[in-house]
Structure 1
Amino acid sequence: MNSPDIIVVQSWFGPVCVLAGDDPVQHRPQRKMRGRRRYYRKIMREATRVAVSESDWYYRMHWHVDWPGLGNVSWRDRRSHLEALFVMFRDILGKTAGWTTPHECWLQIDALDSSQDAVYLHTPNPYRDDFPTDFDWVDWDVEIPERLREFITDPAWQFGRSQGTWTHFFVRLRPHS
């Protein structure tokens, strides 16, 4: 079996890997955005409205803040969506901090496509026995790209990068040793 051709392209976070022939940005808005300030106020409000319950189970449940892909237009837009994504991450970590049920929460950033950025929540569940997630495809404690440093301020967080056929960044709570 042939391995796929991987190429390196530039992103706002530096050089990243993609599959040759893939469109590096999958979602882009079709027209000029109206009501920009109202839109960003709304996604910040919604970032703290995710409802989670300890009595439920979550199989890699995830929430996106940028379905339309507006963060792909400019760094200013991407930064605003990242800000909302990290607000959501902190909010879910806060809501699950007192849980006695085992769970894991992480944030995933697609290096090229803002619409794919998401916050994940995962618990043991009746359909799969893949808890906890092993993250064997992620290199942890790597250098944080300059444009992400402002968001990753908590020393309890661990930063990682996957360098497979597509570059993703991950943030999670540091595992206890």
Structure 2
Amino acid sequence: MKKFRGKKRYFRNLWKEVNTFDLQLDHDYWFDFFHTHLDFFGVGKNSLKIRREHIKAHISLYNRLLKQLEAFEKPYQTWICIHEQDPMLDAVYVHSPNPNDDDFPHKLEELDPNCKLPHTFKDLVDLHQFDVSCYRSECEEVYYIQSKEQGISL
């Protein structure tokens, strides 16, 4: 495993991206599974500490987007995906009715709403504020985190 050089700068830039992210909403705006990955290069795969910092950043970005979406007048769905095995796939999503397809609201039938978060990051998710469900298959486990207050659930 190669040493992670420039860690301080990397996380300074990560948090700058989170704290300045702007959806730039206007009255004609829509979302077709818009999403953003914060650990695009998978650096969280090598360290639990780094992985947890990325999950914190995803939650913070999600809260920022929820605040911005308060002014959005159309129905929408938002969620965070945390992939147990592959941090590069972790993302924050926004979806709304759109001209590309008629797949709104998006429904995932295979979600388990009674799952427990992994010990590695369960302290990062406020269960009073968020609903957590998971999808399990032979090759992956994905956690879906959604606001209890805003948006349409999956």
In the superposition, the TM-score normalised over structure 2's length comes to: 0.87
Q: Contact 1:108 / 1:170 at 8 angstroms: preserved in 2? A: yes
Report matched runs for 1:69-80 at 5 Å. Answer: 69-80=42-53
**1:143 to partner: Cα distance:** 1.7
1:82 equivalent to 2:55? Answer: yes
**1:54 to partner: Cα distance:** 4.4
Q: What is the CA deviation profile of residues 109-163 of structure 1, one whole-angstrom value per residue up to 9, with x for unaligned ones?
A: 1101111100000010012111111121211132222222222115131001101
Q: RMSD of aligned C-alpha atoms?
A: 1.8
Structure with bigger strand share is 1
Structure 1: which 4+ aligned runs deviate by more than 6 Å?
none
1:169 to 109, 123, 143: 143
Inter-partner Cα distance in structure 2 for 1:156 and 1:76: 24
Is there any run of 5+ residues in structure 1 with no aligned partner, and where? 1-29
Q: Contact 1:66 / 1:114 at 8 angstroms: preserved in 2? A: yes
Inter-partner Cα distance in structure 2 for 1:98 and 1:127: 23
Structure with bigger helix share is 2
SS in 1 for 2:19: coil
Correspondence for 1:119: 92
2:77 to 92, 104, 122: 104
In the superposition, the TM-score normalised over structure 1's length comes to: 0.76
